[in-house]
């Protein structure tokens, strides 16, 4: 066997293990009885150790070098070797006692966080969060030394391969300058329109589920290779050829679940569209978290909060809940779905104010990792940032710096991918609509095939064949910038009557 053949067989086994872990994690988050938590944690820890052992296998260094020297490899194979080296470099950068210490600190901190959030008790979380942060700094340091990156960029690199904070700073500073004025204009434009009417509930869970399934089908989700279930925190997970999404149902507000299902379906059709020929190899993986989020936001925000989509979907919503009257008219549903209202909670934020939540978190976590501020200063600096970016100050830390699981959960460097994803979504959707002018009219007819076809060709089927910048340049003619996103927000929120 050639070095490449050894390598790809080995990573095929890693994929088989990773698929097992994916389904067990889905089960854990969606349907596991709670008394199984301890037993499941032991199984997950064992499988993660096995996976780590396989990714750091002593033979890999030689195989990778051998494959890199193999001139007979094609484009895809070479890209696969590049991805394998990336994975191996990061995995071998950390001593295993650091991995274990971090994993334990995160488990303890997440557990404590649930209570601290409920009690708005930042002081109670502080010792646990300090330990998580200390270990994240160490991890960033160790990875950074291996990769020649700052600790923060090294953490970011796990979620956004090739991402650099210098570039994100520029993009986010630009947005931070633009957003307050836009928000003001959006609120003013909104004030000139009639206030949206609320459709009368309650909305039966089963009807919401059927509506969600219908919308998934419209988007081309393959039910033969996935499922829709319920969980407290909606997500897209599972395994290759088994891409499962979850939602939660609020009987007082059907639109929340419907838009959530559309969002997760965006993630899912990316996963389902990854290149089948390379499915068990790293080169088939989704390109990174900003690209992933771009696919969910492209579906949810760009496509499905358009007037075209709401025009198509309104009769389905009416039929699902026997809705009649002006609250069920497409115009009203569109106004309701594009309301702007600055608030404290990120996950409840609208498209216009969402980036401010992300910019705040990004700036704070970068300063914390760089030791430029202390955790004790976090609540105060959080509130200052909210005042500056959104003009409001949370009355307590439950509605402030305790609201998200990311930091207690060890997900440092993740936050910026949300807004990078929103910008990428705007740039991709704009390019798609220019290349295929029927995309929006077709959506108005409930036909997503032109859009999903374009995404399939330019994004989904490309896996990790190219680096993010090259992938985006090939699809849209240039790397990421903020201009299309800004123009989209201005057009939708500050210009439309």
Q: Could you tell me which residues come within 8 angstroms of residue 219 by beta carbon, excluding any fewer than 6 positions away?
A: 262, 265, 266, 269, 299, 448, 452
With respect to a copy of itself, which residue has the nearer C-beta, 22 or 151? 22
Per DSSP, the three-state class of 238 is strand
Instruction: Establish if 286 lies at the interface with a copy of itself (CB under 8 A).
Output: no
The crossing angle, in degrees rounded to 10, of helices 254-272 and 205-218 is: 40
Per-position b or e across 209-218, b if 16+ CB within 10 A of its CB:
bebbebbbeb
Stretch that binds a copy of itself, among 21-29, 366-374, 394-402, 417-425 (CB under 8 A): 21-29
Q: Is 57 in the site for a copy of itself (CB under 8 A)?
A: no
Q: By CB under 8 A, is residue 114 in contact with a copy of itself? A: no
Report the residue number, 35 or 148, with the smaller CB distance to a copy of itself. 35
Stretch that binds a copy of itself, among 8-16, 190-198, 419-427, 476-484 (CB under 8 A): 8-16
Residue 42 as a binder of a copy of itself (CB under 8 A): the answer is yes
Which C-beta is closer to a copy of itself: that of 189 or that of 230?
Answer: 230
Nearest residue to 397 via CA among 411, 410, 383: 383
H or E, element range at 154? helix 151-159
Judged by CB under 8 A, the number of residues near a copy of itself is 37
**Is residue 52 part of the contact set for a copy of itself (CB under 8 A)?**
no
Residue 189 is encoded by which pair of tokens? 């434009």
Smallest distance, Å, CB 477 to a copy of itself? 36
Q: In angstroms, what is the minimal distance from the CB of 405 to a copy of itself?
A: 24
Indicate which single residue of 10, 20, 121, 481 sits in contact with a copy of itself (rule: CB under 8 A): 20
Binding status of residue 300 toward a copy of itself by CB under 8 A: no
Binding mask 182-221 toward a copy of itself (x if CB under 8 A, else -) reads ----------------------------------------
Radius of gyration of the chain (CA): 23
Alpha carbons 23 and 28: distance in angstroms, whole number:
8
Q: DSSP assignment, residue 398?
A: T
The binder of a copy of itself chosen from 5, 9, 31, 170 (CB under 8 A)? 31
Convert 240-291 into a string of H (helix), E (strand) and C (coil): CCEEEEEECCCCCCHHHHHHHHHHHHHHHHHHHCCCHHHCCCHHHCCCCHHH
Is the separation of the CB atoms in 439 and 452 below 8 Å? Answer: no
Q: Check the annotation: does 293 bind a ligand.
A: yes
Q: What string marks each residue from 236 to 255 as x (binds a copy of itself by CB under 8 A) or -?
A: ---xxxx-------------
Cis previous bond, 42, omega within 30? no
User: Are 22 and 238 a contacting pair, CB within 8 Å?
Assistant: yes
Q: Is 263 annotated as a binding residue?
A: yes
Residue 14 or 349: which CB sits closer to a copy of itself? 14
Of the candidates 10, 48, 50, 204, which one interacts with a copy of itself according to CB under 8 A?
50
Residue 35 touching a copy of itself (CB under 8 A): yes
Asked if 225 touches a copy of itself (CB under 8 A), the answer is yes
Q: Give the closest residue to 316 by CA, choosing from 208, 461, 441.
A: 208
- Choose, from 264, 300, 308, 351, the residue flagged as catalytic: 264
Stretch that binds a copy of itself, among 42-50, 93-101, 338-346, 430-438 (CB under 8 A): 42-50
Task: Name the one range near a copy of itself by CB under 8 A: 28-36, 144-152, 321-329, 355-363.
Answer: 28-36
Specify the stretch interacting with a copy of itself by CB under 8 A; choose among 116-124, 174-182, 223-231, 249-257: 223-231
**What percent of the residues of the chain are helix, what percent strand, and what percent coil, each to the nearest 5?**
70, 5, 30
Q: Residue 293: which residues within 8 A CB-CB, separation 6 or more?
A: 417, 418, 420, 421, 422, 424, 425
Q: List the structure tokens of 96.
A: 């295993």
Task: Give whichever of 45 and 120 is closer to a copy of itself, judged by the CB atom.
Answer: 45
User: Closest CB to a copy of itself among 155 and 236?
Assistant: 236
Q: What is the DSSP string of 435-484?
A: H-TTHHHHHHTT--HHHHHHHHHHTGGGTTSS-HHHHHHHHHSS---SHH
Provide, rounded to whole angstroms, the least separation between the CB of residue 28 and a copy of itself: 9
| CA–CA dist 182, 178 (Å, integer) | 6
Question: Do the beta carbons of residue 211 and residue 262 sit within 8 Å?
Answer: no
Active site residue 264: yes
Instruction: Label the pairing between strands 228-230 and 236-239.
Output: unpaired
Stretch that binds a copy of itself, among 18-26, 88-96, 144-152, 292-300 (CB under 8 A): 18-26
Contact between 265 and 452 under an 8 Å Cβ cutoff? The reply is: no
Per DSSP, helices labelled H in 163-204 are: 165-192
Kindly tell me which of 10 and 82 has the beta carbon lying closer to a copy of itself: 10
By beta-carbon proximity to a copy of itself, the closer residue of 38 and 177 is: 38
Q: Could you say whether residue 408 binds a copy of itself (CB under 8 A)?
A: no
**Considering the rule CB under 8 A, would residue 232 count as an interface residue with a copy of itself?**
no
Question: With left for phi above 0 and alpha for psi between -120 and 50, is residue 371 left, alpha or beta?
Answer: left
Work out whether 32 is an interface residue with a copy of itself (CB under 8 A).
Answer: yes
* Catalytic annotation, residues: 264
Query: Which residues would be at the binding site for a copy of itself (CB under 8 A)?
Result: 12-13, 16-17, 19-20, 23-24, 27, 31-36, 38-40, 42-47, 50, 222-227, 239-242, 279-280
Annotated binding-site members for Zn(2+):
263, 267, 293
Q: Which residues are annotated as a binding site?
A: 263, 267, 293
């Amino acid at each position: 066997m050639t070095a490449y053949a050894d390598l790809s067989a080995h990573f095929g086994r890693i994929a088989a293990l990773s698929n097992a872990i994916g389904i067990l994690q889905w089960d854990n988050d969606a349907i596991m009885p709670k008394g199984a938590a301890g037993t499941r944690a032991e199984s997950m820890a064992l499988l993660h150790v096995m996976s780590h052992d396989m990714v750091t296998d002593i033979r890999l260094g030689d195989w990778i070098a051998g494959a890199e020297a193999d001139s007979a490899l094609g484009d895809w194979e070479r890209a696969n070797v590049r991805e394998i080296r990336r994975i191996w470099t990061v995995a071998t950068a950390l001593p295993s006692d650091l991995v274990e210490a971090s994993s334990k600190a995160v488990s303890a901190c997440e557990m404590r966080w649930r209570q601290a959030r409920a009690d708005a008790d930042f002081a109670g979380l502080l010792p646990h969060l300090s330990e998580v942060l200390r270990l994240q700094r160490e991890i960033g340091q160790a990875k950074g030394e291996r990769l020649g990156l700052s600790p923060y960029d090294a953490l970011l690199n796990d979620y956004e391969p090739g991402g650099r904070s210098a570039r994100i700073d520029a993009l986010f500073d630009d947005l931070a300058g633009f957003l307050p004025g836009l928000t003001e204009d959006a609120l003013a434009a909104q004030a000139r329109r009639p206030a949206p009417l609320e459709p009368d509930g309650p909305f039966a869970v089963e009807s919401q589920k059927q509506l969600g399934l219908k919308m998934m089908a419209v988007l081309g989700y393959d039910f033969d290779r996935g499922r829709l279930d319920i969980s407290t925190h909606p997500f897209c997970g599972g395994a290759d050829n088994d891409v499962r999404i979850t939602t939660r149902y609020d009987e007082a507000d059907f639109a929340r679940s419907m838009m959530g299902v559309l969002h997760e379906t965006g993630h899912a059709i990316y996963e389902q569209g990854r290149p089948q020929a390379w499915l068990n190899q790293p080169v088939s993986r989704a390109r990174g978290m900003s690209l992933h989020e771009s696919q969910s936001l492209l579906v949810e925000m760009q496509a499905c909060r358009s007037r075209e989509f709401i025009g198509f979907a309104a009769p389905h919503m009416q039929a699902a809940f026997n809705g009649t009257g002006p609250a069920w008219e497409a115009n009203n549903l569109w106004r309701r779905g594009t309301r702007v209202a600055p608030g404290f909670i990120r996950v409840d934020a609208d498209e216009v104010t969402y980036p401010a939540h992300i910019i705040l978190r990004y700036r704070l976590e970068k300063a914390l990792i760089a030791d430029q501020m202390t955790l004790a200063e976090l609540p105060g600096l959080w509130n200052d940032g909210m005042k500056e970016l959104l003009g409001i100050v949370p009355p307590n830390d439950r509605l402030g710096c305790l609201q998200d699981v990311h930091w207690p959960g060890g997900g440092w460097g993740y936050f910026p991918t949300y807004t990078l994803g929103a910008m990428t979504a705007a740039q991709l959707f704009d390019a798609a609509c220019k290349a295929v002018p029927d995309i929006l009219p077709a959506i108005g007819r409930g036909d997503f095939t032109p859009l999903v076809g374009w995404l399939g060709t330019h994004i989904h089927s490309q896996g990790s064949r190219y680096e993010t910048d090259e992938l985006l340049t090939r699809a849209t003619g240039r790397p990421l910038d903020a201009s299309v996103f800004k123009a989209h927000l201005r057009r939708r929120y500050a210009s439309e009557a």
